[in-house]
Amino acid sequence: PMALRDAPSTCPALWRWLRCPQAELRLDLVLASGQAFRWQELSPGAWTGVLGGRVWTLLQERGRLWYTVYGEETPGPDTDRVLHDYFQLGVRLPALYRAWGAADPIFRKTAAAFPGVRVLRQDPVECLLSFICTSNNHLARIAAMIERLCQAFGRRLCCVGTRPFHAFPSPEALAGAEAEAKLRALGFGYRARFVCGTARAIAEGMGSEGLCRLRAVPYAEARSVLCALPGVGTKVADCVCLMALDKAEAVPVDTHVWHIARQRYGATLHARSLTARMHQEIGDFFRELWGPYAGWAQAVLFCAELRRGRAAAGSGSRARRGRGR
């Protein structure tokens, strides 16, 4: 086992940093807001998780994003690029906040207290299979399920302190004949069939590379392909489009976002339940309001609402709810 590195002063040679002010990125908001489920704050301000088949610890200090990678690899330009890509640091966030605020006083008022909320650029396979697990679920339980999935089917990477870390499993590993029964035994319930069915469809069809190639096709086409997979509805497809397939205009709509559109924005919607048509209407409403990065703007408001819910509910179950509602 390796000791947790929770500060650059502990092993300076094993740490590296990127310039990144909090207006561009707030780790505490982004990594705990239901976009990704494998980051843990093991020490105050120090987030440890798996990215690209490696275990990392990240923290922010005085306008710098510090990171260390566990294992044989020494941080350098290659690992810089991994983080730059994952956090999409080429997108200038303050300029987007200003544009959204100019177009939308509600956004401007809310976002002032929530700077640095970015959309992650995740591995498409991990993002897709993870969001299938969010159906009728809450953040703490989703994270625990995905951790069990990785421990059961993923390659062991290392142990930090007393915690083992595993890579996210390949579609092939989840496509086997015994995988569904094993996931049911791990508490996945009906989601086991969808996780294994989609993994099998990827492994036997488009492959992981084909899923990545959806980054290059139009948003509507990518969403259509995803919705043809087992257990993937419009909301899950939009989450994957936004957080893994470079579709910044995708607006994931759950009942929470539906209520925001109706109650806070007074959107005139033509249905009383969250149908596919309603997903489209709400998405179109926000795309017209916020422009081509509408999905990013929605992520800011979603994060703000999630934080408000946690503050109101304290340690109750509502505080743990997320995208799976």
Q: What is the pLDDT of residues 206-240, one digit of tens each?
A: 999 999 999 999 999 999 999 999 999 999 999 99
Higher local confidence (pLDDT), 310 or 313: 310
**Second-level CATH architecture of 12-88:** 2-Layer Sandwich (3.30)
pLDDT at 29: 96
Give the contacts of 249 (CB within 8 A, at least 6 positions apart). Answer: 219, 287, 292, 293, 294, 295
Higher local confidence (pLDDT), 104 or 322: 104
Q: Which of 143, 168, 161 is nearest to 35 (CA)?
A: 143
Average pLDDT over residues 130-159: 94
pLDDT at 271: 64
pLDDT at 262: 82
What is the chain's mean pLDDT, rounded? 92
Per the DSSP assignment, residues forming a β-bridge with 46 are 43
One-letter identity of residue 45: G
The CATH number given to 123-247 is: 1.10.340.30
Give the model confidence (pLDDT) of 24-70 as tens digits. 999 999 999 999 999 999 999 999 999 999 999 999 999 999 999 99
pLDDT at 254: 85
Question: How far is Cα 297 from Cα 293, in angstroms, rounded to an integer?
Answer: 7
Average pLDDT over residues 227-254: 96
Catalytic center residues: 235
Average pLDDT over residues 76-85: 96
| Segments making up each domain of the chain, as ranges | 12-88, 123-247, 248-302
Asked if the domains at 12-88 and 123-247 fall in one CATH topology, the answer is: no
pLDDT at 313: 64
Question: How far is Cα 101 from Cα 122, in angstroms, rounded to an integer?
Answer: 27
Contact 164, 151 (CB under 8 A): yes
Give the model confidence (pLDDT) of 268-298 as tens digits. 766 667 788 888 989 999 999 999 999 999 9
State the number of CA atoms in the 13 A half-sphere of 54 facing the CB: 17
pLDDT at 314: 66
Average pLDDT over residues 231-260: 93
Among the four given CATH numbers 3.40.50.300, 3.40.630.30, 1.10.1670.10, 3.90.226.10, the one describing domain 248-302: 1.10.1670.10
Tokens encoding 44: 């105050």
Q: Label residue 321 by pLDDT band (50, 70, 90).
A: very low
Q: Measured between alpha carbons, how far is residue 260 from residues 155, 168, 188 in Å?
A: 41, 33, 30
Give the contacts of 225 (CB within 8 A, at least 6 positions apart). Answer: 206, 214, 217
DSSP state of 167: P
pLDDT at residue 155 greater than cutoff 90: yes
Question: How far is Cα 312 from Cα 325, in angstroms, rounded to an integer?
Answer: 17
